[in-house]
Amino acid sequence: MVFAAAIRFYLCLISEGIIHPDELYQYIEPAFGLVFGYWTKAMEFVKGVRSYFYPLINALIFEIGTSLGIQDVCFLILGSRLFNGLLSTLLVFIVYLTARTAYNRDVGLYAAFMSAFSSFILAWTPRTMSELPSTFFLMLSVYLFTEAIGNCHDNSDVKIVLSGISLGVSCMFRLSSAIALLPLFVYLVLKRKLRKTVFLTISFVSIIIVQGFLDYIMYGRFFSSFSWVVLNIRGLFPAVPFYYYIVRSPYMYSFVGLFLLGFSFASMVLSSKRNDHDWIIGGIFLFLFVGHSLAPYKEVRFILTTAPLAFLLAARGLEKLALSIKIKRRKLLFITLTLLSFLILNTFTISQTNWTPLSEQTRAVYWVGEQPDLHGLICEREWWESGVYTYLHRNVPVYFVSNLTTFSQNKSIEFSNLIQNQTYNYVLTKNEKTFLNNYGFVKVNNFEEVYVYKRLLIGLLAVYLINRGA
């Protein structure tokens, strides 16, 4: 656990930039806006189809930071990343507890090891995205459920209620986690556990109602954010083939984990002895995997919730394979080599991971925001990958242009009016734009391929002479 925590803390410290537009405009930027009062609203928040739950958590982290005297936005964002890092560390412990409860201590150690060093989980740990928190609360729900069905004492009902609450919280982060309710519900019905079925359902629904009230407060409509599912089904984004996740499963679970996962399912089907926990965990995994595969739009991150479940089943498969080896020394060697192979494969993937995507852009925006003479910024980026206003941390006008060169050629009048507008005295470009010198801008800094141009007073005379010549 200590080593897993250290890795996650380190990754949070070195991670920069924006891994996905949603990281900024669905989570960080809204949180920044809630605290500082200005931000660029993404379409989802304009239409009221995105939950404010996770942005509010990040806003709380920002508020705590500012109350402690932290004004540097990079440190505020680091706080959000450390929050995810903490949940990722606790996730490893929850996986261990779940496996120990469902199977035994050895399976718990195997599953925790895989979860601790999974490149898939680690890749999303330091990013301010909702998938990791959703995964943590879903696994917490699974753990509490396994505790409740194996516990005949009075507190089993309490654990079922807490399981439903945890699953509801997971849905507040990612609505698709609701798929996991179906196998839990089916199991309880088949086992004729009516009391637990009622408690699980009521506790889950109560948290969903809380989300409805949150939507009402933020948008004026109950369950407004749930309409995001309808927009996805209607084809807001391009459809992705059904086999998308199947093809990418070696990356998500590694070849070793995938082999053990397959063996675990095969043994479940072929075995004459049925273990309820096998079918519960396997059922949740299959429902989530197939459910996400049936959705029109797919991204690898959406299925992060299946990773710890896959490692639970893979650890179970490893245990079954090891049991077939009678000599203790060979058994220990087999387990060691299997886990070592898993570690090597995932370490290689981690070494190839870019932990600072678009960091040159965010660093450039941050640098411009520190300039005391900043009045306005022209940014040669799509707005969703620009890094403002969070990284700019200045409430000044910002004009977004996807391609400044094309804009200057195809819309020369609009470009001329924009570039001569004295409000905008800084320009960020994707690469060097020497023609800006003709309009009184000079290069003052660059961050790799992101260049910073500033309007100089002497440049105003150049613009005037160009216009006179025209």
3-state secondary structure the chain: CHHHHHHHHHHHHHCCCCCCHHHHHHHHHHHHHHHHCCCCCCHHHHHCCCCCHHHHHHHHHHHHHHHCCCCCHHHHHHHHHHHHHHHHHHHHHHHHHHHHHHCCHHHHHHHHHHHHHCHHHHHHCCCCCCHHHHHHHHHHHHHHHHHHHCCCCCCHHHHHHHHHHHHHHHHHHCHHHHHHHHHHHHHHHHCCCHHHHHHHHHHHHHHHHHHHHHHHHHHCCCCHHHHHHHHHHCCCCCCCCCCHHHHHHHHHHHHHHHHHHHHHHHHHHHCCCCCHHHHHHHHHHHHHHHHHHHCCCCCHHHHHHHHHHHHHHHHHHHHHHHHCCCCHHHHHHHHHHHHHHHHHHHHHHHHCCCCCCCHHHHHHHHHHHCCCCCCCEEECCCHHHCCCCCCCCCCCCEEECCCHHHHHHHCHHHHHHHHCCCCCCEEEECCCCHHHHHHCEEEEEEECCEEEEEECHHHHHHHHHHHHHC
Instruction: Please check the confidence at residue 454 and state whether its pLDDT lies above 70.
Output: yes
Residue 58 pLDDT = 96
Instruction: Please check the confidence at residue 395 and state whether its pLDDT lies above 90.
Output: yes
Whether CATH 3.40.190 fits 359-469: yes
Residue 369 pLDDT = 94
Average pLDDT of every residue of the chain: 90
What is the spatial distance between Cα 431 and Cα 405, in angstroms, rounded to a whole number? 10
pLDDT tens digits for range 244-258: 999 999 989 989 888
Share of the chain above pLDDT 70, in %: 94
pTM: 0.92
Instruction: Please check the confidence at residue 460 and state whether its pLDDT lies above 60.
Output: no
In the chain, residues under CATH classification 3.40.190 are 359-469
Tell me which of 178 and 385 has the higher pLDDT.
178
Residue 442 pLDDT = 92
Residue 335 pLDDT = 92
Q: How far, in Å, are 20, 136, 217 from residue 63 at the CA level?
A: 24, 24, 20
Lowest-pLDDT range, 202-211, 406-415, 426-435? 406-415
What is the spatial distance between Cα 28 and Cα 16, in angstroms, rounded to a whole number? 13
What is the spatial distance between Cα 236 and Cα 228, in angstroms, rounded to a whole number? 9
Residue 412 pLDDT = 77
Residue 272 pLDDT = 65
Residue 151 pLDDT = 64
Q: What does the pLDDT average to over 111-140? A: 96
The answer to whether the CB of 94 falls within 8 A of the CB of 143 is: yes
Residue 152 pLDDT = 58
What is the spatial distance between Cα 373 and Cα 459, in angstroms, rounded to a whole number? 16
pLDDT tens digits for range 288-301: 999 999 888 889 99
Residue 153 pLDDT = 61
pLDDT tens digits for range 302-360: 999 999 999 999 999 999 899 888 888 999 999 999 999 999 999 999 999 999 999 99
Instruction: Please check the confidence at residue 463 and state whether its pLDDT lies above 70.
Output: no
pLDDT tens digits for range 173-207: 999 999 999 999 999 999 888 999 999 999 999 99
Quick one: pLDDT band at residue 156, thresholds 50, 70, 90? confident
Residue 458 pLDDT = 52
Max avg pLDDT among 95-99, 233-237, 258-262: 95-99
Residue 198 pLDDT = 94
Instruction: Please check the confidence at residue 470 and state whether its pLDDT lies above 50.
Output: no
